[in-house]
Chains A and B, each alone.
Chain A
Amino acid sequence: MPTPTKGPRLGAGPAHERLMLANLATSLFQHGRIKTTEAKAKRLRPYAEKLITLGKRGDLHARRQVLAKIADKAVVHELFTEIGPRFENRTGGYTRITKVGPRKGDNAPMAVIELVEALAAPAARTAPAAAKTEAPEAEADDQPAEGATSEQTAQADETSQAEGEAQAEEK
């Protein structure tokens, strides 16, 4: 007897479920991170990670196996040329799911699923968001520093830089 797939059924027929997972995986490889419901994210994780493993293998057979699932050839090309090599030193665990709370409207629990080693573009997109949260603090620091000596401002600059570096390391 075949082992049932882990996780919830996605409330649709088997064909619809296959298409949903394929489309979710396509979007994930295109954008690096997507926001979806927790149930879909949990189903997508093993599906996408198997595709990335095929992307790491990189031979023609693997490419045809991926093409059997994902229709978009541009995405498959990106998977084999960029995403696969990026995970060279990682033996699984290519994606990360973070829960982000219930959705307005139907209270569905939402989650963000992302590739662990992010592309340059999504990293740049998250960086301004982090900078926004830091910006009010930095301004608050600067205003009293104007009246103070230059040494104190220099120290403040150093600390803010150190915070930035620490955040960069965390990422």
Chain B
Amino acid sequence: MAVPKRKMSRSNTRTRRSQWKASRPVLVNCPRCRDPKLPHIACPTCGTYNNRQVISPAS
């Protein structure tokens, strides 16, 4: 079975892990209620998309 020849240094481990990043979600303002929402997706606050009621806002 293949095994690592050398122990991986703390520095190498941490350098690799420094690239684990969460990306900030892109948000746009809802044209109806001005709340931030994901683009191309019905607004979860008012439930509208393209000024059309798609979902009830509670859910």
- Using a CB–CB cutoff of 8 Å, the interface residues on chain A facing chain B are 35, 98-101, 112, 126, 129-130, 132-133, 170-171
Contact = CB atoms under 8 A, between A and B. Distances in A.
Contact of B52 (A99, A101, A171): A171
Contacts of B53: 126, 129-130, 133, 171
A170 B44 contact: no
- Chain B contact surface mostly: loop
15 contacts: A98-B52, A99-B40, A100-B41, A100-B42, A100-B44, A100-B54, A101-B41, A101-B42, A112-B42, A126-B53, A129-B56, A130-B53, A133-B46, A133-B53, A133-B57
A112 B55 contact: yes
Contacts of B55: 35, 100, 112
Nearest to B33: A133
Interface residues of B, number: 15
Interface of B: 38, 40-42, 44, 46-47, 49, 51-57
A142 B56 CA distance: 24
A74 to B, nearest CB: 27
